[in-house]
Amino acid sequence: MELEKVLTDVVCSIVDKPEEVRVTREEDGNEIVLVLTVAPDDMGKVIGKHGRIAKALRLIIKAAAVSSEKRVDVEIRD
């Protein structure tokens, strides 16, 4: 499963500027870090109150990555 596509699709559905959503993949041994970049105006929507949306995004990606047998994390940058 392509984790970048899953994250991009989910985030594009909740932001105002989906054309500015970028997901890059950084691999280091047994760990994958997906770096999510959105427009500055959309940061609040991606993080959510008390980080609830960010936690949900991380949970979705970890569930999608079960078959990859690697540790996956999502890092949000502006």
pLDDT digits (tens, 9 = 90+) for 4-16: 999 999 999 999 9
CA dihedral defined by 36, 10, 42, 77, rounded to 10 degrees?
-10
Please check whether residue 2 is in contact with residue 31, taking contact to mean a CB–CB distance below 8 angstroms.
no
Of residues 68 and 27, the one with the higher pLDDT is 27
How many CB atoms sit inside 10 A of residue 10's CB? 17
Could you say which DSSP state residue 20 is in? G
Q: Which CATH number fits domain 3-77: 3.30.300.20, 1.20.1540.10, 3.10.310.50, 3.40.50.11440?
A: 3.30.300.20
pLDDT in tens, 36-67: 999 999 999 999 999 999 999 999 999 999 88
Tell me how far apart the alpha carbons of residues 72 and 77 are, in angstroms, rounded to a whole number. 16
Tell me how far apart the alpha carbons of residues 73 and 58 are, in angstroms, rounded to a whole number. 7
pLDDT at 1 over 90: no
